[in-house]
Structure 1
Amino acid sequence: MTAFTVDLADAHDPLVLAVDVGSTASRGGLYDARGLPVAGLRHKVRHAFTTATDGTSVIDPRQVLAEVSEILQAVARPYLAGRIAGVALDTFASSLVGVDSGGDPLTPCFTYADSRCAPQVAELRAELDEAEVQQRTGCRLHTSYLPARLRWLRATRPEVVARVARWLSLGELLTLHLAGTTGVGTSTAAWTGLLDRLGGHWDPQMLAVAGVAPHTLSPVHHPDQPLPGATSRLPALDGAAWFAVVADGYAATVGTGGRTGGGLVASFATSGAVRAQVPAAVPRTPPGLWAYRVDGATALLGGALNDVGRAASWLTDTLRLDGGLDELLVPDPEPGTPLVLPFLSGERSTGWAAGARAVLADVSAASTPQALARGVLEGVALTYGRVVAQLREVTEPREVLASGRASQALPHLLQLVADVTGLPVTPVTIKRSTLHGTALLALDTLAPGVERATPTTGPTLDPVAGRADYYAERAAAFEELYAAVVA
């Protein structure tokens, strides 16, 4: 065994085949009973959402089905027959596909980023007490969730809706076609905005608001409940248990180590999030956060950010800087840096203003491209700080565990987050932490007595005391600008 991987000859059975369908690719790999990825047994297929200026953000579900089929064939090789005990799947959350009675898609897969249902969000906010809905479901009224999206479909595509026999998440569609059965994982159900967060069942009022009948939705399965009657045509998967799809945010939290200790888990990818695992019965959700039920006893409390790696990519493409972005974050902060609300693609936590756009303030003729870039990335760190501030109303965090591509590409962004939040930040350096978490959830059932390997980490970044006043002032100015322009 070297680093965080294991050769097949040294892998401990049972093995789990995990699949992660993300925003930019589908990937899969084999994990042993300790949660270690098996060297050489992984596969990745890139993809992209189809987007448009009207808010469209979709992907062809048949394309993703072909991708995952390719991954299974590449990883589940015939000589592994009898060793693979389970297949586990996560996808990006809040996806939706309408299917006919045979399970064939009638719609594209609508993603969490599709904002065409913004008018329906406004309708729902006029009809319902949003604060009460959030406390009951754990979700705000927003374009990311399904009540508004289903209303929009009824209003704009009634002829398609009339033909839909079932509404599935993307992961449910995949297991239906690949394993002959399906069910929705508790976390995936929670990310819809249609689940009662305390009872763990579909919420009657929100189903009525969305215009869907309970029988058109799948049964809710906790992650320790394999799908009944699952089968596969691949010999290496004969007899393997299949698990209901889980949300990628839950898998990332587990894979980063967020089930132990008193830490928060922060994801730094195209988008971002900060999450804490809490008891499912936590009585109150702070107004800017969500509380997603994930199993029989626990929930994830946290908030999501639309623009993290996306903000970095925009800076690189737009400003054409000499040198990298990360080196701009090394020096101490300087007064006069532009103040930026970094909402390039709308806001989720904490204000949930889907139509928000980026705002650059305090820009003068002396502002350099480097200063603008520093201002944008400080703004990203401040948005993480806003989520952490509300998490402190319910939790007592001691540190932040950080993972994701952007945390590795911009390591000094983690120092900014430490300085903004006043919490030490520890980078978790394993690759594919989301895939790792998906495998661990299946192993909880398949290999409960096996000690799991501890993910590798980098040096912890402690807050720099001399920067606290600067970032406190920036946070106050951020809120003032937000109140004037967005709220």
Structure 2
Amino acid sequence: MPKTASVELDHALEPFVLALDVGSTASRGGLYDAAGRPVRGLRHKVPHQFRTASDGTSEIDPDAVLAEVAEVITEVTGRLPGRRRIAGVALDTFASSLVGVDDDGAPLTPCYTYADSRCAPQLRQLRGELDEAAVQQRTGTRLHTSYLPPRLRWLRETAPDTFARAARWLSLGEYVHLRLLGTTAVGTSTAAWTGMLDRRAGAWDAEMLTAAGVDAGHLSEIRDPDRPLRDDGRAGRRWPALTGAAWFPVITDGFASNIGAGAGDESVIAAAAATSGAMRVVLHGHPDTIPPGLWCYRVDASRTLLGGALNDVGRVVSWLEDTLRLDQDGLAVDREAALLAPPDDGAPVVLPYLTGERSTGWAGGARALFADVTAATTPTLLYRGALEGVALTYARVAEQLQQAGGRAHRIAASGRVTADHPAWLQVLADALGAPVEHVTMKRTTLHGTALIALEVLAPDVPRAPVETGRTYVPVAGRTEYYATRRTRYQQLYEAVVAPTG
């Protein structure tokens, strides 16, 4: 079968899946056939943005997102000939979202996103009360403002009336399902990203519920992807093409991204590189011990997503371009040439923490550091050094991934940075000491969301291979250079970042 390119409707294989993705910048969706190929002309996108403020606020209106998802469904199904039916609807969203609703399912709060950090004081309380190492081994997550225990405690302390009125606490995807279908459940991966799931048992963790101030009755039933929902008839009446469709429990975008990039088992590590980034591997089973720098999310009864997240990847590229004015004042830098050139000892060693660190040190107060800058340091060397620093943050995650999951045969890289700056993948391959395959397929998260549904709807249909481009192989002779860089990076990290906590 050819690699995953779009297919005309008349040549598409049934059953069809409508995949929906609520991301940080837009809600989007598209139709996929049984081979996992996007059906040409049947997709739609509605941009949005979070409401942010200097106090750490990061919110979005859940009803606005509900309207966006409905618009996507209307646009896609409206272009589908009347005789065609969609067998399943699969939804992924950004992780660690939270909406409080009343007894009627009406929202009492905005949707708080993973980036809302107003619960930092409550996080400090929890770190003083709980054994964080034990929490991580049990739930797969560290204590962090991205997760729900400190956020729920913050709401209980700062908005007690609202907290008391909340009948249920839902993720954004659960809220969308509740309003469209009249019922809802939480997908296992979405539950894992709350920081309150016992990763071995697949049930809500009692200690974390107590720490958050809620009980299991305030949360939804947990369902693996193979247990879809059925609507009460309202969705089928609104969109006839969805009559009888299975609605799959909402999953998280990280899980979908791995599957969509072709990294569905231990043989492939996915390296995602957009504004932020991650390295993740799907493991069969649930590991006994998790390295301290990583998270470990149960995604269903038999699979785990192990990995680490990086705050600053594309954000570093944008900052460099804006701050160094690389295209202005006669200082134009050929980015691709700079990244493909042999390493230069004159490049500074850079800790690229513009907005703090998640994996591997979880130092939220970390800030960027340019070291070993001299009068001879040029904009090209600054650029090269910073992008080497980003690659080394991936290498730190990869080292811990290997401890827990073994060495993967392939590394599959995808995302905006890889599309805009493919030469950076040579730097990444050299820093990792492993080949890096460029996944050129667009919308890998949507693709993965469709594939997870197709595991249930069309398990025996062969899937189209993922589109890939060049494989970047480590250049002989650069091993010592990057080993020296890693040592210097660690010295700087221990001296400057680690004490910030």
Indicate whether the TM-score tops 0.5.
yes
> Does the 8 A contact of 2:4 with 2:466 survive in 1?
no
**1:211-222 to 2 correspondences below 5 Å:** 211-222=213-224
Residue 244 (structure 1) shift: 0.7
Residue 230 (structure 1) shift: 4.8
2:243 to 231, 238, 255: 238
Q: Secondary structure at the match of 2:152?
A: helix
1:454 maps to 465
Whether 2:280 is the aligned partner of 1:275: answer yes
Whether 2:100 is the aligned partner of 1:90: answer no
Amino acid at match of 1:351: G
1:288 maps to 293
- Whole-angstrom CA distance in 1 between matches of 2:3 and 2:491: 50
Whether 2:255 is the aligned partner of 1:250: answer yes
1:304 maps to 309
Whether 2:383 is the aligned partner of 1:360: answer no
2:402 maps to 392
Amino acid at match of 1:427: H
1:139 to 137, 141, 145: 141
Cα gap change, 1:179/1:325 in structure 2, threshold over 3 Å: closer, same or farther? Answer: farther
- Whole-angstrom CA distance in 2 between matches of 1:478 and 1:336: 15
- Whole-angstrom CA distance in 2 between matches of 1:310 and 1:373: 13
- Whole-angstrom CA distance in 2 between matches of 1:404 and 1:164: 38
2:35 maps to 34
1:264 maps to 269
Unmatched 5+ stretches in structure 1: none
1:45 maps to 46
Residue 217 (structure 1) shift: 0.5
Residue 465 (structure 1) shift: 2.1
Whether 2:445 is the aligned partner of 1:434: answer yes
**Larger deviation: 393-402 or 246-255?**
393-402
2:475 to 464, 475, 478: 464
> Does the 8 A contact of 2:266 with 2:408 survive in 1?
no
Whether 2:427 is the aligned partner of 1:416: answer yes
- Whole-angstrom CA distance in 1 between matches of 2:3 and 2:463: 15
Whether 2:383 is the aligned partner of 1:382: answer no
- Whole-angstrom CA distance in 2 between matches of 1:61 and 1:345: 26
Residue 3 (structure 1) shift: 6.1
Cα gap change, 1:251/1:58 in structure 2, threshold over 3 Å: closer, same or farther? Answer: same
1:115 to 110, 114, 117: 117
Whether 2:318 is the aligned partner of 1:313: answer yes
Cα gap change, 1:143/1:80 in structure 2, threshold over 3 Å: closer, same or farther? Answer: farther
> Does the 8 A contact of 1:23 with 1:92 survive in 2?
yes
- Whole-angstrom CA distance in 2 between matches of 1:280 and 1:137: 15
2:11 maps to 10
Residue 268 (structure 1) shift: 0.9
1:156 maps to 158
**Larger deviation: 323-332 or 352-361?**
323-332
Residue 82 (structure 1) shift: 4.4
Q: Secondary structure at the match of 1:393?
A: helix
Amino acid at match of 1:96: L
Residue 70 (structure 1) shift: 0.8
Whether 2:58 is the aligned partner of 1:66: answer no
Cα gap change, 1:261/1:118 in structure 2, threshold over 3 Å: closer, same or farther? Answer: closer
- Whole-angstrom CA distance in 2 between matches of 1:405 and 1:140: 28
> Does the 8 A contact of 1:227 with 1:242 survive in 2?
yes
- Whole-angstrom CA distance in 2 between matches of 1:387 and 1:351: 10
Cα gap change, 1:36/1:230 in structure 2, threshold over 3 Å: closer, same or farther? Answer: farther
- Whole-angstrom CA distance in 1 between matches of 2:191 and 2:258: 17
2:415 maps to 404
Identity between Structure 1 and Structure 2 (%): 60
Moved over 3 A (4+): 228-231, 323-327
Amino acid at match of 1:453: A
Amino acid at match of 1:289: L
- Whole-angstrom CA distance in 2 between matches of 1:130 and 1:272: 24
- Whole-angstrom CA distance in 2 between matches of 1:187 and 1:172: 12
1:138-171 CA distance string (max 9 Å, x none) = 0001111111111111222222212211111111
> Does the 8 A contact of 1:230 with 1:242 survive in 2?
no
Cα gap change, 1:355/1:3 in structure 2, threshold over 3 Å: closer, same or farther? Answer: same
Cα gap change, 1:9/1:98 in structure 2, threshold over 3 Å: closer, same or farther? Answer: same
- Whole-angstrom CA distance in 2 between matches of 1:34 and 1:97: 35
- Whole-angstrom CA distance in 2 between matches of 1:215 and 1:261: 36
**Larger deviation: 331-340 or 248-257?**
331-340
Amino acid at match of 1:248: D
Residue 397 (structure 1) shift: 1.5
Aligned length: 487
Residue 456 (structure 1) shift: 1.2
Cα gap change, 1:454/1:261 in structure 2, threshold over 3 Å: closer, same or farther? Answer: farther
- Whole-angstrom CA distance in 1 between matches of 2:3 and 2:124: 53
Residue 358 (structure 1) shift: 1.5
Q: Secondary structure at the match of 2:209?
A: helix
- Whole-angstrom CA distance in 1 between matches of 2:408 and 2:210: 38
TM-score, length of structure 1 as denominator length: 0.97
> Does the 8 A contact of 2:181 with 2:230 survive in 1?
no
Amino acid at match of 2:260: G
> Does the 8 A contact of 2:91 with 2:248 survive in 1?
yes
- Whole-angstrom CA distance in 1 between matches of 2:310 and 2:113: 15
1:173 maps to 175
Unmatched 5+ stretches in structure 2: 327-331
Cα gap change, 1:112/1:325 in structure 2, threshold over 3 Å: closer, same or farther? Answer: farther
> Does the 8 A contact of 1:427 with 1:457 survive in 2?
yes
1:109-128 CA distance string (max 9 Å, x none) = 11111122222222111111
1:209 maps to 211
TM-score, length of structure 2 as denominator length: 0.94
2:329 maps to none
1:185 to 187, 207, 213: 187
1:394-423 CA distance string (max 9 Å, x none) = 222222011111111111221111111111
- Whole-angstrom CA distance in 2 between matches of 1:409 and 1:339: 23
1:246-273 CA distance string (max 9 Å, x none) = 0000000111111146111111111111
- Whole-angstrom CA distance in 1 between matches of 2:123 and 2:337: 41
